[in-house]
Each structure stands twice: as C-alpha cells, then as structure tokens.
Amino acid sequence: MTLSPSPQPSPRGRGGRARASPSGRGRPSEARTGEGGSSAVLTQSSVLSPQSLAGRSLAEALDRALKGRRSVRRYRPDPVPDEDLSAIVEAARWAPSPHNAEPWRFLVLRTAEAKERLATAMGERWVEDLRRDGWSAEAIDKEVRKSHRRITEAPVVIVACLCAEGLDAYPDSQRQMAEYLMAAHSLGAAVQNIMVAAYARGLGTCWMCAPLFCPEVVVQALGVSNELKPQGLITVGYPMGWPEARQRRPMVELVIEVS
C-alpha cells in the first residue's frame, strides 16, 4: 500500500490534561448533547449508507458528512482497509497550506508495538506532569490507563507533525510566529480532511492532543527525525457505536456581522 502520496514523507482530552485537578473535569459544554436539542444517536447505516447519498448534491452530501462526523473513542478491532487508509491520508494532502508548502507529515502506526511504544512513552511523561500538578496516584492511574487504552486499542493511529520545510523564515519573532501559526492552522485543515474522509468511509476518528504536550517524547519513542514536530494524533477505526452529537453554540454567538 502506498501511504505517502508525496515522497516526503485530558485530562485536556487525553483525558483532560489541561485540568489542574481531577475536579476540573467535565466542562459544562461537554455535558451538552444533541444538535439543536436532539439527542438522537446517529447510526452508521442511517448516516452513511451509499443509498442515502444517491441523487443528492455535493453540497448536501458534504453537509451531511461535516455535521455527522463525531469523535469516536471506542473502536471495534476490525482492521482499516489499506485503500481506505490510503484515501484518508490522501485527503489531507489536498488541504490548503501557506505557500502550498504542505508543512505536515503523517506518521502512520498500525502495529501493536508502535502504538504501545507511543502510548507508554507519552503515559510516563503524563504521570510526571500530573504528579507535579498534585493529582492523586489513583486519579493519575485512571486517566493514564484510559488514554493508553484509547491509543493501543485503535486499529490505526496517525500522528500529525509540523515540518518547517518550505516555510518562510523571518528575522523578527512576530512574523516568525505568524508563519508558524499559519503552518499550524493548515495542519488543522489537513486533520479535518482526514476525519471527514474517514467518516465518509464509515470510519470513526478522534483527534487527541497528547503529542502536543510532549513532542520530543513522541519523536524519540517512534524513532523519527526531530525536524518533525508532533501536534496531535488521530485514532482511526470502525466505531463500537456512533456517539451522540455534542451541542454547538447558536450561530448568533459565533457570527458577528460587521458593516
């Protein structure tokens, strides 16, 4: 299988890592369920059957995919077909990027060994962080085990990394930061492409932020160049079930009309 179309290659969600203490868990927004008040469970067949899209316009199909995608945190052990994995990574390639630099590389982990190495190394670092934050041993163990399970039980893990190749260099820190942020924004667009393309193939995904908090640990555990800056990982697989949609803010809160 050709996975690299180009030759270049929580707490805070890893259970909630940003929380200073376990009691900070469960932001109110996370408790909200249902889109527009609905809490209907979306099933794969109701959302994704090819028949359900037949005859629909591209816009309708796309809206359906954008709104139907969910973060999936439990997967069936079934493998992800090579052609689907290839297609979803290919989708990332078509994301917009500054100067068309495509400043991202994707590490694809399919073996149990690679996933275990990553989960264990990040878990060890996380234990240290949470101890410093004053968490109890019991709370740490629970969160770290959960994160470890989510990574090792996912059939595929994709680690999204920034890569400075092709980006502009500036002598001043303000413009350099802008350039870096542009690259990071475009990595987000590429990851979204991966998640939507996966969903369109009946696959679930979840973006996990853990690598962003210990990029050097990820690079070392996976034995890749330290020119790569891990930003997050995406778990991929067939969902145990499709989660309920989480509520979104009303449009009036998001859009500010300026005249």
Ligand X SMILES: Cc1cc2nc3c(=O)[nH]c(=O)nc-3n(C[C@H](O)[C@H](O)[C@H](O)COP(=O)(O)O)c2cc1C
Residue number with the shortest CB distance to ligand X?
A: 13
User: Considering only residues 108-137, where is the footprint of ligand X by CB under 6 A?
Assistant: none
Q: Does 196 bind ligand X (CB under 6 A)?
A: no
Nearer Cβ to ligand X (4/247): 247
Among 92, 107, 151, 206, binds ligand X (CB under 6 A): 206
Nearer Cβ to ligand X (37/55): 37
- Comparing CA positions, the residue from 120, 112, 195, 113 lying closest to residue 155 is 112
| Residue 12 CB, nearest approach to ligand X (Å) | 6
C-alpha triplet 164, 188, 246: angle, nearest 5°: 160
The stretch near ligand X (CB under 6 A) out of 94-102, 115-123, 151-159, 205-213 is 205-213
Among 101, 127, 209, 224, binds ligand X (CB under 6 A): 209
What does DSSP assign to residue 43? P
| Residue 174 CB, nearest approach to ligand X (Å) | 24
Neighbours of 90 (CB within 10 A): 17
Q: Does 246 bind ligand X (CB under 6 A)?
A: yes
Q: Does 148 bind ligand X (CB under 6 A)?
A: no
* Helix%, strand%, coil% for the chain, nearest 5: 50, 15, 35
Q: Does 242 bind ligand X (CB under 6 A)?
A: no
The stretch near ligand X (CB under 6 A) out of 66-74, 79-87, 110-118, 134-142 is 66-74
Residues in the chain: 259
Which residues have a Cβ under 8 Å from the Cβ of 157 and sit 6 or more positions away?
108, 109, 114, 115, 118, 151, 233, 234, 235, 236
Q: Does 14 bind ligand X (CB under 6 A)?
A: yes
Q: Does 10 bind ligand X (CB under 6 A)?
A: yes
User: Considering only residues 218-237, where is the footprint of ligand X by CB under 6 A?
Assistant: 232
Q: Tokens 């800056």 identify what position?
A: 229
Q: Phi, psi (5° rounding) for residue 239?
A: -70, 145
Q: Does 13 bind ligand X (CB under 6 A)?
A: yes
- Residue 104's SS3 state is strand
The stretch near ligand X (CB under 6 A) out of 65-73, 89-97, 100-108, 125-133 is 65-73
Q: Does 151 bind ligand X (CB under 6 A)?
A: no
User: Considering only residues 73-102, where is the footprint of ligand X by CB under 6 A?
Assistant: 73
CB 49 within 8 A of CB 29: no
Residues that bind ligand X (CB under 6 A): 10, 13-14, 70-71, 73, 206-210, 232, 246
